[in-house]
């Protein structure tokens, strides 16, 4: 597909706009990821914003819009390092996120992910019948927006995004001022069992639930039922309350120290099962990719092998330096360990990129089980480090203090792996979009490299702001902070738990084994349901067990709201897109407000400096929160279901 506007494909104004969108969505996704362990796809919102802004400036082309969304979509993926870096806080190795190491490892891993997928493009995109759901959807939106001479599609999409963001920002600001409660809970006892019911009033979670869909939302709700209505009551009845905690605190303690391990076991098995089901197609895809011939057409040309080799060499050299710098304060014998980390990222990173890229094409980026890849990588890198230690290849400093430095070093290596895996999803989806609209692959690959660099610069300050303002569950930066407002950071907690458990041999194998059994039962149940055309994703159930109850229930409400809306509006495509934009706006509005409040908290050194309400307002703040949340749900429904 050729376009006369080809000369307006890669422009300065497009690069600037893409960078600005990248900054906004990187901050939003980092906040959302630490809050619930999920991110939202930024390609479609970026495409809508780009169409509206560039059309207003004049002379916009579909290819220029595609370049903007390609660059900005890196924000939805490079921020995935939120799943790793906070683990260094949780184990007590870092007290903040150093800019050089955090940004450098994020950029190196993300850019490596782009390079890893370039050799796979022809086999997995051009010559493949993989569906690439997000890539195809983004291409369709670009086409419709380009063909609509009055730009009605882009105007409506942008208006929907802004309205959702404004509503969510106002709600989040009221919650930040403590005028509205951010959730409600009730605890009661049945004999010696404790039952705790909880829900949240987060509009970001409501929007995330809408995007997750009814199957994922109900699966997470089922995970909540398994954890808080079955496991917690059972364990509180059989375990002693040795610290004489009140009922609510005892239930929370049991969930945190016991039930979450069940969730981790279920997540691990579900991830491995998903990878196993896709192993055959992945291997065939990689084999075809390695056997494919270079493209001859200008619109099929990738970055040159020379450019890839030079860029890749620089990235690996930079990665080696960053790993060495991380170890130097503790030992001068850094060469072997840093070299191991570099080669591990290069080899396992490529395999990860091929696997995740294929799965993204098969089931979509949102459904690609990166969590399973990360768990496998965690076990593998920790086991290899232990093996090297047994052969005397590592300095003694890594084994000191119960392998504290070894655990931290494994986490640092994993950060680059996670960035590479996430970007491989994004890159191939964007290349599919580009193929459908007639874009130049090498230009897309170049702007994705740029997007990784810009996004990496945003990650460290956002992580620092969020940690200082809210803290993470189990790690608060200052005494006297309210732990109920801490970000749950689920993935970093799992990584820290597994890495520490492998090195110190302290994993709770009983709860993990129960979790594996639960995961097996969920896989069988999902197989049985699939025969009836139903779905209960085992991975989503495991996540529902592991996440705080206020998260799982609110996401389920968003999924249910989306299902009701879809049933009431007769499946009109334009409203499907509008719903996606409103939901994305709800996420962006709360996320940016949360980051802004975090900045104010960091400046004042207090997480309650701007709290107008407080304990004196209870229980009216909770009542007001319920009313406001219900009103937003009704507004969401009426906006999307109206004729």
Radius of gyration of the chain (CA): 24
DSSP 228: I
**pLDDT of residue 296 exceeding 70:** no
CA distance to 259, 356, 464, per residue, from 537 (Å): 19, 18, 34
The number of beta carbons lying within 10 Å of the beta carbon of residue 286 is: 21
What residues contact 626, with CB distance under 8 A and at least 6 apart? 184, 201
Residue 470 and residue 596: Cα distance in Å, rounded?
12
233, β-bridge pairs = none
Instruction: Answer with the residue of higher pLDDT: 144 or 46.
Output: 46
CB 200, CB 183: distance < 8 Å: yes
pLDDT tier at 5 (50, 70, 90 boundaries)? very low
The tokens for 490 are: 């689920």
CB 466, CB 34: distance < 8 Å: yes
pTM: 0.72
Parallel, antiparallel or unpaired: strands 183-190 and 193-200: antiparallel
CA distance to 94, 96, 491, per residue, from 464 (Å): 11, 6, 17
Burial class (CB in 10 A: 0-12, 13-18, 19+), 126: middle
DSSP 515-534: HHHHHHHHHHHHHHHHTTT-
Instruction: Please tell me which of 251-255, 257-261, 334-338, 576-580 the model is most confident about, judged by mean pLDDT.
Output: 334-338
pLDDT tier at 3 (50, 70, 90 boundaries)? very low
Residue 353 and residue 345: Cα distance in Å, rounded?
11
The angle subtended at Cα 523 by Cα 518 and Cα 528, nearest 5°, is 125
CB 402, CB 60: distance < 8 Å: no
Residue 212 and residue 216: Cα distance in Å, rounded?
6
Q: What is the pLDDT of residues 72-114, one digit of tens each?
A: 776 667 778 888 999 999 999 998 999 999 999 999 998 988 8
pLDDT above 70 covers a percentage of the chain that reads 79
Q: What is the pLDDT of residue 222?
A: 93
DSSP 180: S
* H-assigned helices in 133-213: 133-147, 152-176, 203-212
CA distance to 38, 204, 489, per residue, from 470 (Å): 18, 17, 11
Ramachandran region of residue 614, left (φ > 0), alpha (ψ -120 to 50) or beta? Answer: left
Q: What is the pLDDT of residue 523?
A: 92
**pLDDT of residue 254 exceeding 50:** yes
Q: What share of the chain is helix, strand, coil (3-state, %, to 5)?
A: 75, 5, 20
First to last CA, the chain: 36
What residues contact 453, with CB distance under 8 A and at least 6 apart? 107, 111
Q: What is the pLDDT of residue 643?
A: 47
| Average predicted confidence (pLDDT) for the chain | 79
Lowest mean pLDDT among 54-63, 269-278, 332-341: 269-278
Alpha-carbon torsion angle 55, 61, 62, 68, nearest 10:
-70
Lowest mean pLDDT among 212-216, 352-356, 444-448, 529-533: 352-356
Mean pLDDT of all residues in 609-625:
68
Count of residues for the chain?
643
412: Cα separation from own chain's centroid: 18
Q: 487 by DSSP, 3-state: which?
A: strand
Residue 181 and residue 177: Cα distance in Å, rounded?
10
CB 215, CB 250: distance < 8 Å: no
The number of beta carbons lying within 10 Å of the beta carbon of residue 447 is: 26
Q: What is the pLDDT of residue 93?
A: 92
HSE toward the beta carbon, residue 571, CA cutoff 13 A:
0
pLDDT above 90 covers a percentage of the chain that reads 16
DSSP 1: -
**pLDDT of residue 271 exceeding 80:** no
**pLDDT of residue 568 exceeding 50:** yes
CA distance to 4, 74, 98, 155, 444, per residue, from 60 (Å): 12, 22, 40, 14, 17
pLDDT tier at 6 (50, 70, 90 boundaries)? very low
Cis amide prior to 619 (ω within 30 degrees): yes
The helix (run of H) or strand (run of E) holding residue 190 is strand 183-190
Residue 45 and residue 157: Cα distance in Å, rounded?
8
Q: What is the pLDDT of residues 352-405, one digit of tens each?
A: 776 666 666 655 555 555 666 777 788 889 989 999 998 888 888 988 888 999
CB 513, CB 265: distance < 8 Å: yes
Instruction: Answer with the residue of higher pLDDT: 354 or 154.
Output: 354
Q: What is the pLDDT of residues 31-79, one digit of tens each?
A: 777 876 666 666 767 777 777 787 777 777 788 887 887 777 766 677 7
* Closest by CA position to 71, among listed 18, 111, 30: 18
* Closest by CA position to 341, among listed 318, 326, 319: 319
């Amino acid at each position: 597909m050729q376009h006369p506007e080809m000369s307006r494909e890669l422009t300065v104004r497009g690069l600037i706009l893409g960078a600005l969108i990248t900054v906004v969505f990187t901050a939003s996704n980092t906040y959302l990821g630490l809050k619930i362990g999920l991110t939202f796809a930024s390609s479609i919102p970026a495409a809508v914003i780009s169409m509206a802004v560039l059309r207003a400036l004049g002379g916009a082309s579909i290819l220029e819009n595609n370049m903007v969304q390609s660059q900005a979509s890196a924000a939805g993926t490079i921020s995935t390092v939120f799943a790793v870096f906070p683990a260094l806080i949780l184990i007590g190795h870092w007290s903040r996120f150093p800019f050089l190491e955090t940004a450098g490892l994020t950029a190196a891993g993300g850019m490596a992910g782009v390079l890893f997928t370039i050799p796979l493009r022809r086999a997995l995109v051009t010559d493949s019948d993989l569906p690439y759901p997000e890539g195809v959807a983004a291409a369709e939106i670009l086409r419709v927006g380009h063909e609509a001479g009055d730009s009605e599609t882009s105007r409506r999409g942008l208006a929907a995004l802004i309205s959702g963001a404004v509503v969510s920002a106002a709600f989040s600001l009221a919650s930040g001022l403590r005028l509205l409660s951010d959730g409600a809970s009730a605890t009661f006892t049945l004999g010696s069992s404790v039952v705790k019911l909880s829900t949240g009033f987060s509009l970001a979670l409501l929007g995330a639930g809408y995007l997750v869909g009814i199957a994922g939302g109900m699966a997470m709700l089922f995970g909540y039922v398994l954890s808080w209505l079955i496991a917690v009551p059972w364990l509180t009845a059989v375990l002693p309350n040795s610290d004489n905690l009140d009922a609510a605190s005892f239930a929370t303690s049991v969930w945190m120290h016991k039930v979450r391990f069940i969730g981790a076991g279920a997540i691990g098995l579900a991830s491995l099962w998903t990878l196993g089901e896709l192993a055959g197609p992945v291997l065939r895809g990689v084999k075809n990719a390695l056997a494919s011939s270079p493209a001859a057409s200008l619109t099929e040309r990738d970055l040159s092998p020379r450019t890839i080799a030079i860029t890749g060499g620089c990235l690996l050299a930079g990665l080696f330096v960053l790993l060495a710098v991380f170890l130097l304060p503790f030992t001068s014998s850094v060469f072997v360990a840093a070299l191991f980390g570099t080669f591990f990222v290069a080899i396992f990173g490529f395999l990860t990129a091929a696997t995740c890229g294929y799965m993204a094409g098969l089931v979509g980026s949102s459904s690609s089980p990166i969590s399973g890849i990360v768990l496998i990588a965690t076990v593998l890198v920790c086991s290899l480090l232990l093996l090297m230690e047994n052969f005397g290849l590592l300095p003694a400093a890594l084994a000191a203090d119960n392998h504290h430095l070894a655990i931290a070093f494994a986490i640092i290596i994993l950060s680059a792996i996670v960035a590479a895996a996430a970007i491989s999803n994004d890159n191939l989806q964007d290349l599919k979009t580009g193929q459908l609209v007639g874009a130049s692959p090498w230009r897309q690959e170049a702007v994705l490299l740029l997007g990784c660099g810009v996004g990496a610069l945003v990650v460290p300050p956002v992580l620092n702001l969020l940690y200082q303002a809210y803290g993470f569950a189990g790690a608060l930066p200052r005494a006297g902070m309210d732990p109920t407002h801490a970000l749950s950071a689920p993935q970093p907690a799992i990584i820290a738990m597994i890495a520490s458990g492998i090195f110190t041999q302290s994993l709770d194998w009983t709860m993990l084994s129960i979790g594996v059994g639960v995961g097996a039962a969920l896989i069988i149940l999902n197989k049985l349901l699939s025969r009836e055309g139903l779905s209960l994703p085992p991975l989503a159930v495991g996540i529902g067990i592991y996440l705080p109850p206020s998260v799982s229930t609110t996401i389920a409400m968003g999924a249910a709201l989306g299902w009701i809306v879809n049933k009431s509006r007769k499946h009109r495509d334009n409203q499907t897109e509008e719903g996606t934009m409103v939901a994305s706006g709800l996420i962006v509005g709360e996320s940016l407000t949360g980051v802004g409040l975090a900045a104010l908290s960091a400046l004042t050194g207090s997480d309650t400096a701007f709290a107008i309400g407080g304990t004196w307002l209870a229980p009216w703040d909770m009542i007001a929160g319920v009313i406001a949340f219900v009103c937003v749900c009704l507004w969401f429904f009426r906006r999307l279901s109206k004729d």
